Amino acid sequence: MGRGMPPIMMLLAAAALVFGCVHQRPLDVARLASAPVCRPAKEPSLVWIDTVDQWMRWRTIAAMPEMGGSDPTAAGMDFTTHGILVMRLGQRASAGTRMTLITSESVQQGDMAVIAVRVDDPIPGGRTAQMTIAPCLAVRMARAGVASIRVVDGAGAVLGELMLPRPRM
């Protein structure tokens, strides 16, 4: 017992260090648009868009006036290197909830993009319009080396995860 750590324990500790410490780097992500109502979104969900055709189909069912329904390639969007992630919070009972991208805390860990957002809910007991909303946020994200996406709130709670399809050739 007094001779130090047994060899198997040393091996397990070394493996935990190697596999537990995934290389982390900043993620190329930027806000595109947000909306208080994003149809259809009864439940929280993530939508990955990686072609102009997908965007044109998707935008017809979403209400994101900041995007103006325009072709994102006209605004410099390059679907060969980037995609659009739409994060939907699902239906909420009152107005005032919004989602904000936290760029400084969004990182790439191995082949997973971890996107940090802040969800601001109205103050309990405060005056807000009583209406059903479904907030959403659309971001442009680099695709290189990313196989999956995890969206977390400011406290680190997982809001959603998504496996990405293989890149188109």
Question: Residues 86-138: pLDDT tens digits?
Answer: 888 887 766 677 788 999 899 999 999 999 999 887 766 666 666 667 788 88
How far apart, in Å, are the Cα atoms of 156 and each of 51, 52, 139? 30, 32, 19
Q: What is the pLDDT of residue 36?
A: 75
In the chain, the amino acid numbered 73 is T
User: In the numeric block, which tokens belong to residue 119?
Assistant: 């969800």
> Could you give the CA distance from residue 52 to residue 79 in angstroms, rounded to a whole number?
7
Q: Give the residue with greater pLDDT, 24 vs 62.
A: 24
90-117 burial, b for 16+ CB within 10 Å, e for fewer? eebeebbbbbebeeebbbbeeebbbbbb
Q: What is the pTM for the complete model shown?
A: 0.76
Question: Residues 33-81: pLDDT tens digits?
Answer: 887 777 666 788 899 998 888 877 776 656 565 554 455 655 567 888 9
pLDDT at 16 over 50: no
Helix residue ranges per DSSP H, 21-98: 52-59
